[in-house]
Structure 1
Amino acid sequence: MPFALAMYDIASDRRRARVSELLADSGPRVQLSVFELELARHRDLTMLCDRLTGIIDHHHDQVRIYTVPTLREDRIILGNRVLQERLPYLIV
C-alpha cells in the first residue's frame, strides 16, 4: 500500500490529543495537524479508520486521509527544518 497523508480538524483538546497519538503510531507528524502514514497493508488503513471513527465527534470534527500513489523518494520537501520524529534514535 502506498503511504497516506492524514490531516485533522478536531474541536476538543482531549479528542485532538487522542487522534494525534493514534496517527503518530502510524507515521511522523509533518505539520501541526498533518501526518505521513506508513501503512504496510490496506487492512491497516481500515483498522486505523475504525479507531478514528470511535474517537471523533462526527458533528464537530473531521479527519481526512489521502492515499498517495507515489514512492516516498518522489516527494519534494522545501525547507531545511528537521522534524523530531525523523531523527534517528536508539532506545536502550
Structure 2
Amino acid sequence: MFTRDDLKKTRYYQELKQEVIEDITKEVKQEEALALILRQLPRRIGTVKPELIGRIQQLETSQLENLAEALLDFESESDLVNWLNKSTD
C-alpha cells in the first residue's frame, strides 16, 4: 500500500503537481493583467461600457498584455473599440 510520501515521490505526482502550478500561475497572471487594465482604462478614456468590459474579460493573457500597452495611446472609447475589433478578428 502506498503512503502519502510514496505517492509524492512518483513521477506522475510530480508531473501533475507541476502542471497544476503552471495552470494556477497562468490564471493568476491573467487575472492580474485584467485587473490592471480595468483600473487603467477609466483613467485613460473615462467610463467603460459593460459590454466592452465583457469583451476584455474574454481576452487571452497575451492579448491582455498587448492591450495594457496599447491603452497608453488611447484617447477615447473608439480607440478601445477599434483595438478590440482588430485584435479579436
More helix by share: 2
Which protein shows a greater Rg? Answer: 2
**TM-score if structure 2 supplies the norm length?**
0.27
Q: Which has the higher contact order (CA 8 A, sep 6+)?
A: 1
**TM-score if structure 1 supplies the norm length?**
0.27
More strand by share: 1
